[in-house]
């Protein structure tokens, strides 16, 4: 287990940029559709089963949730996107808040974009990736729930996404399974580079 990420603890939750922690240090965001498994990924990488709350109602969480690793490093769970039952007003507010966060947050140093390997790349994922690429933000795409597919199908899905992002040099792609702990070492290493962290 990686001790640096194991020390993560809940810091605060806020609906917009106004309530965020002071804009200093380093932050890596976790973004994805409401059912992509963000909470499960955060719990897996920190080795804490209940750090990030897993909601059984997709689209319910509409806040930015901050987890502190130490005084200078934070993980940020962004509101899930793309869930059809979320009211249009809420979707509009999410879009405004996220755009503001990407454009103004100076401590933002990396992004982890989660995509359910069974669903593939969606228009909402493209919007999020575009925001990352526009500000030249290093990004790692996790193809989550990889254990749900056979090895050959999972590899094919990975290759397909890699082709989509091939012209973005700061975007990586990997398979991931929170249940099987597949891809944890690779994710820890990638986060270290985003945080400029050395043990």
| DSSP state for residue 174 in the 8-state scheme | E
Sheet of 139-144: strand order equals 9-14, 64-68, 73-77, 26-32, 108-116, 139-144, 171-175
Cβ-count burial 132-142 (b if 16+ within 10 Å, e if not): bbeeebbbbbb
- Which helix (H) or strand (E) segment holds residue 101: the answer is helix 88-104
Of 147, 136, 141, 177, residue with least CA distance to 159: 141
Return the pLDDT at 88: 75
The pLDDT, as a whole number, for residue 56 is 55
The continuous run of DSSP H or E covering 108 comes out as strand 108-116
- CATH number, domain with residue 28: 3.40.50.300
Q: Check residue 40 and give its pLDDT.
A: 94
**HSE-CB for 177 with a 13 A CA cutoff:** 13
Q: How far apart are CA 23 and CA 17, in angstroms?
A: 10
- The total number of structural domains in the chain stands at 1
pTM here is: 0.92
Q: Strands 9-14 and 64-68: what pairing?
A: antiparallel
**pLDDT at position 82:** 66
Total residues found in the chain within this entry: 199
Give residue 170's domain range. Answer: 3-195
- Stretches in the chain below the pLDDT threshold 50: 199
Give the pLDDT confidence score for residue 55 in this predicted structure: 61
Q: How far apart, in whole angstroms, are the C-alpha atoms of residue 53 and residue 160?
A: 31
């Amino acid at each position: 287990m990686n001790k640096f990420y194991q020390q993560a603890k809940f810091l605060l939750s806020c609906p917009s940029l106004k309530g965020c922690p002071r804009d200093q240090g380093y932050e890596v965001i976790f973004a994805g559709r409401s059912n992509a498994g963000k909470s499960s990924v955060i719990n897996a990488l920190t080795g804490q089963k209940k750090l990030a709350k897993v909601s059984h109602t997709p689209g319910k969480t509409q806040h930015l949730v901050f987890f502190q690793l130490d005084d200078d490093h934070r993980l940020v769970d962004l509101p899930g996107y793309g869930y059809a039952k979320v009211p249009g007003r809420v979707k509009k507010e999410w879009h405004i808040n996220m755009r503001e966060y990407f454009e103004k947050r100076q401590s933002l140093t990396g992004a982890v974009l989660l995509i359910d390997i069974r669903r593939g790349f969606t228009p909402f994922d493209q919007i999020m990736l575009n925001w990352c690429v526009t500000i030249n933000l290093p990004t790692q795409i996790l193809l989550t729930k990889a254990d749900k597919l056979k090895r050959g199908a999972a590899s094919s899905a990975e290759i397909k996404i890699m082709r989509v992002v091939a012209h973005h040099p700061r975007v990586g792609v990997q398979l991931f399974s929170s249940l099987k702990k597949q891809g944890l070492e690779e994710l820890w290493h990638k986060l270290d580079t985003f945080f400029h962290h050395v043990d």
